[in-house]
Amino acid sequence: MAAKDVIIEKNYIDGQWVGGDGERLAAINPVSEQAIGHCIEASAEDVDAAVRAANNAFAPWSALSGKQRADYMRKMTAAIRGHLDDLVEMQMANCGKPRGEAKADIIGSIECIDYFADRAEELDARRQTPVDYDIPGYRSNTRLEPMGPVGFILPWNFPMKICAWKLGPALAAGCTVVIKPSEVTPFTDTFWGKAAEEAGLPPGVINVVNGRGAITGAALSEHPGLRKISFTGSTRTGKFIMKAAAEDVKNIGLELGGKSPILVFQDADLDLAARLATEGVFYNAGQCCNATCRLLVHESVEEPLAQKIIALSEAVVLGAPDSPGMTMGPLASKAQYDKVTGYQDIAREEGLTCRTGGDRAPGFDSGYFVQPSLYTNVPNASRLWNEEIFGPVLCLRTFTNEEEAITEANDTEYGLAASIVTEDDARAERVAARLEAGHIYTNVSVAIPPETSWGGFKQSGIGRELGPWGLAGFLEVKTVTSRG
Ligand code: NAD
């Protein structure tokens, strides 16, 4: 049993594992900086073959009952459970995540597919609904129909789990899929092909094509044979996807970047606030779209809160996954390390006040380790305050009243998530109603159960994943109006 058992250096097209002569792209262990394996880049022709397979599989797959599709989905989660330890090991090896976080990704993937298997069963009863109106001689029914073959383009920060958020509702709805994993973390997402194979899914229902964005991702997003591209990644790439989809008016789902605020009021429990702020920005080494990276704190409690945050930050133990006492791993890639350390350099150029961290982590011979950092008194115009850093970097500004806190929190192009820490329930409700973000957390950490919605306002995206909204994202509504 080992992480290497999860390495499949092939693409999965029409029920076959195919090598092809595409470029071999190395996947890197972010601790050793050594390759742990390779994926084979799918060409435009390979993508075309995968899309054709998804089209051929669509009619029979969508004709199954929701119950039949749910049975296949549960067989897939049984297959994942059977390889759970290997998948966790791979998530640690390829992403540098602590074991607990790596395991949460895989368990979360299983729970998500199981949740949507239940929704698939319910869909049988919901497929056709009479419309309630009174026009003499008319009656109407709405039908929910699967959108068709769809493509997924995935990021590297939560491989497997973010795919589950798309795959669960797509399969439940009756869609067939082509998955493009991130080239940084190909293996656990390629495993969806293995899970499909072990579960006996008909060929073509799930296809996996690896490769870089500009080659394989572009071929997928431009392919006229898909009805939707569901994308999770940066806002910059989301704009490319949107333009490519416009060509043949494909549906799109965009889960993009964030710069999420956490608002700490004067009546807050400061121990709780410090814990939520640091957990929220240090989980997965800060590589979370919903990282609580903009800390807005009432001026009267700034210094005691900063002290508590500094103590928690300095208690973080950086290390390789499973090394003694480690609580935070490295960043997932060299590119991300360069980006985060680049922002540390910008902070120095901007003359920001760094209260802890602020640099590369000393004492490692290799690996993309950075210190968890707190900057205070950050100007509103600072690049660190406005741009998504995607690392363990917390920036703090103060406010003097509730109105100012809300205005500052909303003063961003993003709108993915926001957190509120206050002991005043009426204030929490009032502020939550006015924050422009898709998921608001009050006095709790940033969990995302599959029953809730996920997605952003403004440039954080278009559409919602998870819950009934996630399922609706893969269904077309058809109304049939007849004489009656
Ligand atoms: P990225 O945009 O660089 O890459 C995402 C995917 O897009 C990869 O598979 C990549 O190969 C592909 N891609 C790149 N260029 C492409 C192109 N021109 N055409 C088609 N595909 C292309 O993002 P990333 O660095 O992998 O992920 C980090 C980003 O993802 C952050 O901005 C983060 O906030 C965001 N994210 C958002 C959510 C959410 O739910 N909103 C969740 C996780 C990550």
- For the CA of 258, the closest atom of ligand 1 is 34
Q: What is the structure's pLDDT at 3?
A: 79
**170, pLDDT greater than 90:** yes
Paired tokens of 83: 């390889």
Probe target for ligand 1 pocket from 189, 240, 289, with the most ligand atoms within 8 Å of CB: 289
Q: For a pLDDT cut of 70, what percent of the chain falls above it?
A: 100
pLDDT of residue 4: 82
Task: Report phi then psi at 444, rounded to 5.
Answer: -135, 160
Model pLDDT, residue 413: 98
Of 474, 454, 451, 452, residue with least CA distance to 462: 454
Counting from 1 in the atom list of ligand 1, the atom nearest the Cα of 212 is 11
Q: What residue has token string 């109106």? A: 133
Work out whether the CA dihedral 383, 234, 417, 344 comes out positive or negative.
negative
Residue 112 annotated among the catalytic residues of the structure: no
Atom of ligand 1 nearest to the CA of 465: 40
The per-residue pLDDT for 125 is 87
C-alpha of residue 269 to centroid of ligand 1, in Å:
36
Distance 148 CA to ligand 1 centre (A): 23
Region for 119 from its dihedrals, namely left if φ exceeds 0, alpha if ψ lies in -120 to 50, beta otherwise: alpha
Ligand 1 midpoint to CA 380 (Å)? 26
List every span in the chain annotated with CATH 3.40.605.10.
3-256+459-483
Radius of gyration from C-alpha coordinates of the chain: 23
User: The whole model's pTM is what?
Assistant: 0.98
Residues with Cβ within 8 Å of 335's Cβ and at least 6 positions away in sequence, in order, are: 184
Q: Which of 396, 408, 316, 300 is nearest to 354 (CA)?
A: 396
Report the separation in Å between the CA atom of 233 and the middle of ligand 1, taken as the mean of its atom positions: 2
Given a cut of 60, whether residue 199 has pLDDT beyond it is yes
Question: Ligand 1: does its nearest atom lie under 6 Å from the Cβ of 211?
Answer: no
Indicate which residue's Cα is closest to atom 26 of ligand 1. Answer: 155
**Residue 152 to residue 228: CA distance in whole angstroms:** 8
Pocket lining: 470 vs ligand 1, CB cutoff 6 Å:
no
- Whether the per-residue pLDDT at 238 is higher than 90: the answer is yes
Q: How far is CA 387 from CA 103, 321, 352, 396, in A?
A: 30, 29, 15, 14
Residue type, 40: I
Model pLDDT, residue 117 = 98
Both tokens assigned to 294:
């903009």
Residue 294 CA to residue 156 CA, distance in Å, equals 23
How far apart are the CA of 237 and the centre of ligand 1, in A? 6
Read off the pLDDT of residues 36-45 as tens digits, 9 standing for 90 and up: 999 999 999 9
**Confidence check: pLDDT of 2 > 90:** no
Cβ–ligand 1 distance for 256 under 6 Å, the answer yes
d(C-alpha 292, C-alpha 278), whole Å: 8
Q: Whose CA is nearest to atom 23 of ligand 1?
A: 233
Can you tell me which atom of ligand 1 is nearest the CA of 165?
A: 40
Q: How far apart are CA 243 and CA 137, in angstroms?
A: 44
- Using pLDDT thresholds of 50, 70 and 90, give the confidence band for residue 162: very high
Q: For residue 476, report the distance from its CA to the centre of ligand 1, in Å.
A: 26
Q: Specify the domain boundaries for CATH 3.40.309.10 within the chain.
A: 261-449
Q: How far apart are CA 183 and CA 388, in angstroms?
A: 21
Task: Quote the CA–CA distance of 173 and 116 in Å, as a whole number.
Answer: 9
CA distances from residue 151 to 50, 203, 217 in whole angstroms, order as listed: 10, 16, 10
The finding on whether 218 has its CB within 6 A of some atom of ligand 1 is yes
Which of 23, 95, 105, 157 for a ligand 1 pocket mutation test, highest count of atoms within 8 Å of Cβ? Answer: 157
Please give the full DSSP string across 96-112, using - where no structure is assigned.
---HHHHHHHHHHHHHH
- Phi then psi for residue 421, to 5 deg, are -125, 115
Tell me, yes or no, if 197 is annotated catalytic.
no
Q: Report which of residues 19 and 162 the model is more confident about.
A: 162
Q: Catalytic one among 41, 89, 121, 255?
A: 255
Residue 155 Cα to ligand 1 middle (Å): 5
Over residues 113-154, the pLDDT tens digits come to 999 999 999 998 888 899 999 999 999 999 999 999 999 999
Which residue CA neighbors atom 39 of ligand 1 most closely? Answer: 255
Residues 232, 349: Cα–Cα separation, whole Å = 32
How confident is the model over 371-421, as pLDDT tens digits? Answer: 999 999 999 999 999 999 999 999 999 999 999 999 999 999 999 999 999
Q: What is the pLDDT of residues 240-279, one digit of tens each?
A: 999 999 999 999 999 999 999 999 999 999 999 999 999 9
Here the tokens at position 202 are 């008909």
Range 162-167, long-range pairs (CB < 8 A, 24+ positions): 162/232, 162/255, 163/109, 163/189, 163/192, 164/108, 164/109, 164/110, 164/112, 164/113, 165/112, 165/232, 165/450, 165/454, 165/465, 165/466, 165/470, 166/230, 166/232, 166/253, 166/465, 167/113, 167/192, 167/206
Ligand 1 site, residue 258, Cβ cutoff 6 A: yes
- Tell which residue, 400, 298, 388, 314, has the closest CA to residue 355: 314
Residue 195 pLDDT exceeds 90: yes
According to DSSP H, which parts of 151-295 are helical? 161-173, 187-199, 218-222, 235-246, 270-282
Q: At what angle do helices 161-173 and 66-82 cross, to 10 degrees?
A: 160
* Ligand 1 contacts CB of residue 390 (under 6 A): yes
Res 313: pLDDT = 98
CA–centroid distance, 235 to ligand 1, in Å, is 8
Catalytic residue of the set 163, 175, 289, 395: 289
Question: What CATH number is given for 3-256+459-483 in this structure?
Answer: 3.40.605.10
Enter the tokens of residue 283.
């989980």
Q: State whether the beta carbon of 255 lies less than 6 angstroms from ligand 1.
A: yes
| d(CA 315, ligand 1 centre) in Å | 31
pLDDT for 1 beyond 50:
no
Mutate to test the pocket of ligand 1, among 237, 240, 287 (most ligand atoms within 8 A of CB): 237
Fold of 261-449: Aldehyde Dehydrogenase; Chain A, domain 2 (3.40.309)
Which is the closest atom of ligand 1 to the Cα of 257? 34
> Is the beta carbon of 214 within 6 A of some atom in ligand 1?
yes
Q: State whether the beta carbon of 238 lies less than 6 angstroms from ligand 1.
A: no
Residue 477 φ then ψ, to 5° = -100, 125
Mean residue pLDDT across the chain: 97
